[in-house]
Chains A and B, each alone.
Chain A
Amino acid sequence: MERRAFLKVTGIVGILAAGRAPAFAQGTKLHILRWVDFIPACDVELRKQAGEASKALGAEVQFEFINANDLQPRITAAIQSQSGPDIIHMLHNWPHLYENGLVDVSDVAEWQAKEQGGFYGQSEAYTKVGSRFMALPHGIVPGLTAYRKSWFNEVGVTTPPKTYDEYRQVGMRLKKKGHPIGQTLGHTFGDAPAWAYPLLWNFGGMETDKSGKTALDGKGAVEAVKFMTAFWKDACDEGGLAWDDTNNNRAFHAGEISATLNGASIYIAAKRAPDKIKDDKGEPLVRDIQHMRLPAGPAGSWSYHTAFAHGVMKYSKNQKLAKDFLKWLHGVGPYGRWFEVAEGFSIGSTKQWERHPLWNTIDEPMKGFKTAADNSRVIGFAGPPSAKATEVYSKYVIIDMFAKGVQGMKAEDAVKWAAGELKNIYG
């Protein structure tokens, strides 16, 4: 069999088995743009894997990491100038927004779903535009509430609060003791929507109805804003209006707050630096951290977890190479090694990863992350996660609705304001 035919038939597995690189032009470079991971070791692992992939694919694979809040401007600039990275990290439902600038990767997505047990609904909904996968799901960063066990115990709480009202009562007692809850309502990509969207849903509010028509102006949204306003005043660190995604991590590690909705990075960072991150008694802080799910509201207990994917750019001259690389990177071997380094901060986009041996040996406070993705809704709910929903997200309309409430605007007026913005966007 000729080498080219062999590669075509056997794909990347064949490449690896044969130990030879495919016939990409000499000097070909593959440029991948990703966020700076909250677990720095994950980026180190990817850099390591870039070397392996370069050998396997016969082309130089290069990663570039930038702040997640700067990804969208880079994507716009790249698509408009028709130049830039070959593959770009996609968060949330961005593939819907950038559909025209992305390559259809349905073939690789179908392979991944088949090999790894099917995508979570959120990952599929965010990357599948119509009937085509416009990006390849990579992982999900679930958000659970990290809290200080000892401080919760001090106010008589030994089991996580089950409802938002219970959480508020606990928060009131904690704030009185100088340990407020910390939550951002700032203009930032991850923690703010992960808190604000579920709050809306769990009180029965929704951005659009199933047909995609705006449906925000209703009792559910008003009740959610009323709760938020009271919760903010009674239980929260009120500086959170200006926080980005890193502020709550720092505040938690410094002992300024008792609980915050976040990825597992607070726990993992504390675990990896026990000598530096300590509690008020000088003990490693990690021993005092536990995680809980968001409490339930009158309409349920839904969460919002940040889904990640890789999009191959339409302007790229290396589309075939990019797809081959993604097949390699998302393959069980390389992905498994990266997944282990993430230690539960990032979970898979397919269900197979719930059965990974990592979960058998992982620390008890991290166990909740294993199946966290099972209760996630998508932005734009109850309608589809369309490009319009991304516009709402990018303009922080839902987050600002709550922020206006806590700044003193009447709940009804805050909802009316947001509903007006949605109408302007959805038409």
Chain B
Amino acid sequence: MKKPIAGGAGDAAGTVALPHPRTSGAKRPSAFLENERWLAAMLLAPTVLLLGLFIAYPFVMGVWLALSSTSVGNPGEFVGLKNFLKAWNDSIFRTAFYNTTYYTFWATVFKLTLGMYLALLLNRHFRGKRLVRASMLLPFIVPTVLSTFAWRWMFDPTFSVLNWLLYRTGFIVTKLPFLSDGDWGIWCAIVVNTWRGMPFFAITLLAGLQTINPDLHEAASLDGANGWKRFWHVTWPLLKPVTLVVVVFSVIQTFSDFQLIYVLTGGGPANATHLIATYAYQVGVATGLLGEGAAISLFMLPVLFIVVWLQLRYLRKLEGA
């Protein structure tokens, strides 16, 4: 008995007809890889699976919760937009919404301004440049909860080291109400957020600055441009795309900020520092009203969507130009 050649189809005459890879009925496993569609699907599968599991599923679950009366230990039922209406009629939610916008706007402005200034400074040549650049990242590296605890102690209503210092140096005669006054509280949160987020801006903008050809600056200098003109007419136009990307990331992170406020003020005094995320947590997780909490947090979605869409659109326009 003749042994068939592996992979082939023997016939009675003893000749061997090797199958055409694309015409054979019984496909080999490797045949899938030769098909571009299958290969693409296989390569994409892990990503789709991960995105589905960790992004799509929680998102769909969040939307479902927001449309239901689910509370802790109670599966709930479909209630339509009731949770959204309840949130909209809730003055604490409206305060939290306003605070979130205010906090995000000012924190982003400061992070961008100071981050840009720092990046320009660090783009110069000086001794110990690498060490300074590395240490600048520290606020970004330290876990937010830990660093915010340190800030909380510095702003402590009774034992604030800042108050002590200002009092000892004769700048104040009574304590400053860092966290015990609503306006002061939100500005303290903006300061801490700026301190923490500025290195991200600085390091990314620094990377952008280093891609700018020094010849351009040199040419501008020869044409008599001063520092400000070189920045405005050379650096800024070339840095704009990077800046926009950083701002988009920062707005998303700041608008959905949670840890910082949770540790620093807990949303107080009298909800003056509550953000959408902290209030959603208070309602959904602490009070156990999961449906209402999910609805509150979903209010972030359209706002962020519009911000991201506008900025990306502008970015595309810049690239087109």
Contact for B158 among A79, A187, A247, A394, CB less than 8 A: A247
B182 interface contact, C-beta 8 A: yes
Are B90 and A421 neighbours in the complex by a CB distance under 8 Å? yes
Are A424 and B86 neighbours in the complex by a CB distance under 8 Å? yes
Are A98 and B158 neighbours in the complex by a CB distance under 8 Å? no
Are A242 and B180 neighbours in the complex by a CB distance under 8 Å? yes
The residues of B that contact A99 with a CB separation of less than 8 Å are 73
Are A186 and B269 neighbours in the complex by a CB distance under 8 Å? yes
**Measured CA separation A395–B92 after assembly (Å):** 9
Distance (whole angstroms) from the CB of A99 to the closest CB of chain B: 7
Contact residues, B253-287 vs A (CB, 8 A): 265-272, 281-287
Are A241 and B287 neighbours in the complex by a CB distance under 8 Å? no
Are B266 and A98 neighbours in the complex by a CB distance under 8 Å? no
Contact for A404 among B74, B159, B270, CB less than 8 A: B270
Distance (whole angstroms) from the CB of B97 to the closest CB of chain A: 15
Are B179 and A187 neighbours in the complex by a CB distance under 8 Å? no
B157 interface contact, C-beta 8 A: yes
Are A250 and B158 neighbours in the complex by a CB distance under 8 Å? yes
**Measured CA separation A100–B71 after assembly (Å):** 10
Per-position contact with B for A390-415: 1 when CB-CB < 8 Å, else 0? 11001110001001100100000000
A43 interface contact, C-beta 8 A: no
Given A79-B72, A240-B157, A254-B159, A186 contacting B289 (CB threshold 8 A): no
Are B288 and A242 neighbours in the complex by a CB distance under 8 Å? no
**Measured CA separation A124–B269 after assembly (Å):** 33
Are B72 and A98 neighbours in the complex by a CB distance under 8 Å? yes
Are A75 and B181 neighbours in the complex by a CB distance under 8 Å? no
Are A186 and B287 neighbours in the complex by a CB distance under 8 Å? no
A238 interface contact, C-beta 8 A: yes
Contact residues, A85-133 vs B (CB, 8 A): 97-101
Distance (whole angstroms) from the CB of A294 to the closest CB of chain B: 22
Are B269 and A407 neighbours in the complex by a CB distance under 8 Å? yes
Of A76, A188, A237, chain B has the most CB atoms within 10 Å of the CB of A76
Are A400 and B271 neighbours in the complex by a CB distance under 8 Å? yes
Distance (whole angstroms) from the CB of A177 to the closest CB of chain B: 15
A-side interface residues, number (CB < 8 Å)? 44
Contact for A417 among B72, B91, B283, B289, CB less than 8 A: B91
B169 interface contact, C-beta 8 A: no
Of B74, B156, B157, chain A has the most CB atoms within 10 Å of the CB of B157
A359 interface contact, C-beta 8 A: no
Are A391 and B72 neighbours in the complex by a CB distance under 8 Å? no
The residues of A that contact B286 with a CB separation of less than 8 Å are 72-73, 76, 394
**Measured CA separation A421–B283 after assembly (Å):** 13
**Measured CA separation A250–B290 after assembly (Å):** 36
Are A241 and B180 neighbours in the complex by a CB distance under 8 Å? yes
**Measured CA separation A237–B175 after assembly (Å):** 10
A251 interface contact, C-beta 8 A: yes
Per-position contact with A for B96-130: 1 when CB-CB < 8 Å, else 0? 00000000000000000000000000000000000
Contact for A421 among B91, B157, B179, B289, CB less than 8 A: B91
A307 interface contact, C-beta 8 A: no
Closest to A239 in B: B157
Contact residues, B146-188 vs A (CB, 8 A): 156-159, 175, 177-182, 185
Distance (whole angstroms) from the CB of A105 to the closest CB of chain B: 16
Are B282 and A394 neighbours in the complex by a CB distance under 8 Å? yes
B211 interface contact, C-beta 8 A: no
Of A241, A243, A390, A420, chain B has the most CB atoms within 10 Å of the CB of A241
Are A424 and B72 neighbours in the complex by a CB distance under 8 Å? no
Contact for B92 among A239, A244, A421, CB less than 8 A: A421
**Measured CA separation A390–B72 after assembly (Å):** 13
B226 interface contact, C-beta 8 A: no
**Measured CA separation A269–B89 after assembly (Å):** 45
Closest to B267 in A: A187
**Measured CA separation A247–B175 after assembly (Å):** 16
Are B270 and A403 neighbours in the complex by a CB distance under 8 Å? yes
Are A239 and B282 neighbours in the complex by a CB distance under 8 Å? no
The residues of B that contact A188 with a CB separation of less than 8 Å are 266
Are A395 and B159 neighbours in the complex by a CB distance under 8 Å? no
Contact residues, A162-186 vs B (CB, 8 A): 185-186
**Measured CA separation A396–B92 after assembly (Å):** 11
The residues of B that contact A242 with a CB separation of less than 8 Å are 157, 178-180, 185, 265, 268-269
**Measured CA separation A400–B185 after assembly (Å):** 15
**Measured CA separation A250–B157 after assembly (Å):** 11
Per-position contact with B for A232-259: 1 when CB-CB < 8 Å, else 0? 0000011111111001001100101000
Distance (whole angstroms) from the CB of B188 to the closest CB of chain A: 10
The residues of B that contact A240 with a CB separation of less than 8 Å are 157, 180
Are B288 and A72 neighbours in the complex by a CB distance under 8 Å? yes
The residues of B that contact A421 with a CB separation of less than 8 Å are 90-92
A13 interface contact, C-beta 8 A: no
Are A72 and B285 neighbours in the complex by a CB distance under 8 Å? yes
The residues of B that contact A80 with a CB separation of less than 8 Å are 72-73, 290
Contact for B287 among A100, A391, A417, CB less than 8 A: A391
The residues of B that contact A75 with a CB separation of less than 8 Å are 72, 288
The residues of B that contact A155 with a CB separation of less than 8 Å are none
Contact residues, B278-314 vs A (CB, 8 A): 281-290
The residues of A that contact B285 with a CB separation of less than 8 Å are 72-73, 76-77
**Measured CA separation A394–B285 after assembly (Å):** 10
**Measured CA separation A408–B312 after assembly (Å):** 43
**Measured CA separation A254–B157 after assembly (Å):** 13
**Measured CA separation A98–B73 after assembly (Å):** 7
- Between A and B, 16 residue pairs with Cβ closer than 8 Å are A73-B286, A76-B284, A76-B290, A80-B290, A99-B73, A101-B72, A185-B270, A241-B177, A242-B179, A242-B185, A242-B269, A244-B266, A247-B157, A391-B289, A394-B287, A400-B268
Assuming A241-B268, A247-B157, A394-B282, what are 10 further A-B pairs, CB within 8 angstroms? A186-B266, A239-B175, A242-B179, A242-B185, A247-B158, A395-B283, A403-B269, A407-B270, A421-B91, A424-B86
Query: Which residues in A have some Cβ–Cβ distance to B below 8 Å?
Result: 69, 72-73, 75-77, 79-80, 97-101, 185-188, 237-244, 247, 250-251, 254, 256, 314, 390-391, 394-396, 400, 403-404, 407, 417, 420-421, 424
Query: Which residues in B have some Cβ–Cβ distance to A below 8 Å?
Result: 72-74, 86, 89-92, 156-159, 175, 177-182, 185, 265-272, 281-290
